[in-house]
């Protein structure tokens, strides 16, 4: 069975930049995919290719099995909310929402009905005659969402819809947007550089880097089984340190890590040489502080940050790596010499990658 929205080998070059590099994914009807990546990774270009504002050099876009790769933006019936939400300040809320419908030749009472329905869907029923400038940033973003939803698009495209909001408003607006989209049940692609947005909103997340899709999966899959060092570091916290792979152990893998030897519950990493140098990446909760001693990597606490019931310790090892370790707030003080061991709690959080995987 094929997906509702399918993207195959999508590619877009600008001069020497490959902005989008053979990107493929599928979304089921009503699914929500978050495209997550740092600035310049090709998120906006991917969205513009989907919307039809940009033509691909290669690849296909299909919706409901229909090839819309060369269809013009109106014909493909996708709705888009832009990063810098372009509400018209001289028009009222109702006129802003009507904008996309008028270009589709909806008029009169039908127009009023659909504007009112779209505003109702974003919990702004009755706001037709308000001025845009009277609304909060979160409300303005919901008007932009109503404008995109009013023509009843097949797919909704959102480009960093929360980036203009301050942190307090951001979380609330994120929840509102999530509830609205769930209620409408529309197939959605959301672009963001914020992991929290991607994880809260996406039922699946696609991580982009330099135009390439590094990994696609549920938030859980990305967090617990990152495909490479980039995803491990970009999704959640992880610190990295070079190690020597010594061989397989009873359970997992044996590594030399700055004079200590650890048995860790990690795949040995398939690429690269069978033994030798690897990059170890560890979630803070998969490490623990111990007194310095055999089996522990010695280091000095350089910072301690409270994160609720636990504290995040930054430890500088003797070879100069920095490892983040989660522990009891009273476990150590800044400046104290400590040891680091893998956490006793079995299962994940420590990964081995090829030493040049960066
Ligand atoms: N119209 C354009 N002309 C030239 N280069 C572009 C154009 N649009 C995007 N790029 C380049 O393509 C890459 C991806 O850009 P973009 O899709 O905007 O990334 P993101 O949205 O992830 O920040 C960047 O290197 C950017 O400079
Ligand atoms: Mg962008």
Instruction: Return the CATH number at 327.
Output: 2.40.50.140
Q: Alpha-carbon distance 320 to 93, whole Å? A: 57
Q: Same domain, yes or no, for 72 and 192? A: yes
Q: Same domain, yes or no, for 181 and 270? A: no
With beta carbons less than 8 A apart as the criterion, state whether 56 and 66 touch.
no
Partners of 306 in beta bridges: 311
Q: Same domain, yes or no, for 39 and 169? A: yes
Ligand 2 centre to CA of 36 (Å) is 10
Q: Same domain, yes or no, for 102 and 72? A: yes
Please count the structural domains in the chain.
Answer: 2
Nearest to 266 by CA among 226, 295, 215, 216: 226
Tell me the mean pLDDT in the region 276-289: 94
Is the CB of 44 inside a 6 Å radius of any atom of ligand 1?
Answer: yes
Query: Average pLDDT, whole number, for the chain?
Result: 92
Residue 231 in domain: no
CA 52 to chain centre: 23
Boundary (domain end) residue, out of 191, 226, 261: 226
Q: Alpha-carbon distance 234 to 223, whole Å? A: 10
Tell me the pLDDT tens digit for each residue of 62-77. Answer: 999 999 999 999 899 9
What token pair was written down for 202?
A: 């996406």
Q: Which structural domain, as residue segments, surrounds residue 113? A: 5-226
What distance separates the 2 farthest-apart alpha carbons in the chain?
A: 80
Please, which residues have CB within 8 angstroms of residue 204's CB and are 6 or more apart in sequence? Answer: 27, 31, 32, 33, 34, 216, 217, 218
Ligand 2 centre to CA of 53 (Å) is 14
pTM confidence score? 0.89
Q: How sure is the predictor about 1, in pLDDT bands with cuts at 50, 70 and 90? A: low
Residue 232 in domain: no
Q: Same domain, yes or no, for 53 and 155? A: yes
- pLDDT at position 358 is 63
Is the CB of 19 inside a 6 Å radius of any atom of ligand 1?
Answer: yes
Tell me the mean pLDDT in the region 223-229: 93
Is the CB of 300 inside a 6 Å radius of any atom of ligand 1?
Answer: no
Q: Alpha-carbon distance 311 to 213, whole Å? A: 34
Tell me the pLDDT tens digit for each residue of 194-219. Answer: 999 999 999 999 999 999 999 999 99
Is the CB of 314 inside a 6 Å radius of any atom of ligand 1?
Answer: no
CATH of residue 76: 3.40.50.300
Boundary (domain end) residue, out of 187, 207, 226: 226
Nearest to 37 by CA among 202, 197, 230, 192: 192
pLDDT value at 154 more than 90: yes
Q: Same domain, yes or no, for 184 and 100? A: yes
- pLDDT at position 125 is 95
CA 125 to chain centre: 31
Tell me the mean pLDDT in the region 124-134: 94
Boundary (domain end) residue, out of 226, 259, 278: 226
Q: Alpha-carbon distance 27 to 83, whole Å? A: 22
């Amino acid at each position: 069975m094929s997906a509702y929205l399918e993207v195959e080998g999508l590619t877009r070059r600008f001069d020497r930049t490959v902005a989008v590099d053979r990107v493929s994914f599928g979304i089921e009807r009503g699914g929500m995919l978050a495209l997550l990546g740092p600035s310049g990774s090709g998120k906006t270009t991917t969205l513009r290719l989907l919307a039809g504002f940009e033509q691909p050099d290669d690849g296909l876009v299909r919706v409901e099995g229909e090839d819309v790769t060369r269809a013009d933006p109106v014909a493909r019936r996708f709705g888009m909310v832009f990063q810098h939400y372009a509400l018209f300040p001289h028009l009222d809320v109702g006129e802003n929402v009507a904008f996309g419908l008028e270009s589709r030749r909806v008029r009169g009472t039908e127009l009023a009905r659909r504007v009112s329905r779209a505003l109702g869907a974003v919990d702004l029923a009755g706001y037709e005659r308000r001025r845009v400038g009277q609304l909060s940033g979160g409300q303005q973003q919901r008007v932009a969402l109503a404008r995109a939803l009013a023509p009843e698009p097949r797919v909704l495209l959102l480009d960093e819809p929360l980036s203009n909001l301050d942190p307090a408003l951001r979380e609330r607006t994120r929840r509102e947007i999530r509830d609205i989209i769930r209620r409408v049940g529309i197939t959605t692609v959301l672009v963001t550089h914020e992991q929290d947005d991607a994880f809260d909103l996406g039922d699946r997340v696609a991580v982009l880097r330099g135009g390439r899709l590094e990994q696609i999966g549920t938030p859980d899959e990305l967090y617990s089984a990152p495909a490479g060092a980039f995803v491990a570091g970009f999704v959640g916290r992880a610190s990295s340190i070079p190690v020597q792979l010594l061989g397989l152990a009873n359970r997992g893998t044996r590594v030399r890590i700055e004079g200590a030897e650890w048995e860790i519950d990690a795949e040995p990493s398939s690429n690269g040489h069978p033994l030798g140098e690897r990059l170890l990446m560890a979630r803070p909760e998969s490490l623990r502080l111990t007194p310095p001693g055999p089996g522990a990597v010695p280091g000095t606490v350089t910072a301690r940050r409270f994160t609720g019931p636990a504290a995040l310790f930054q430890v500088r090892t003797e070879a100069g790596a920095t490892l983040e370790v989660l522990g009891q707030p009273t476990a150590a003080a800044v400046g104290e010499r400590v040891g680091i061991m893998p956490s006793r709690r079995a299962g994940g959080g420590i990964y081995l990658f090829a030493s040049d995987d960066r």
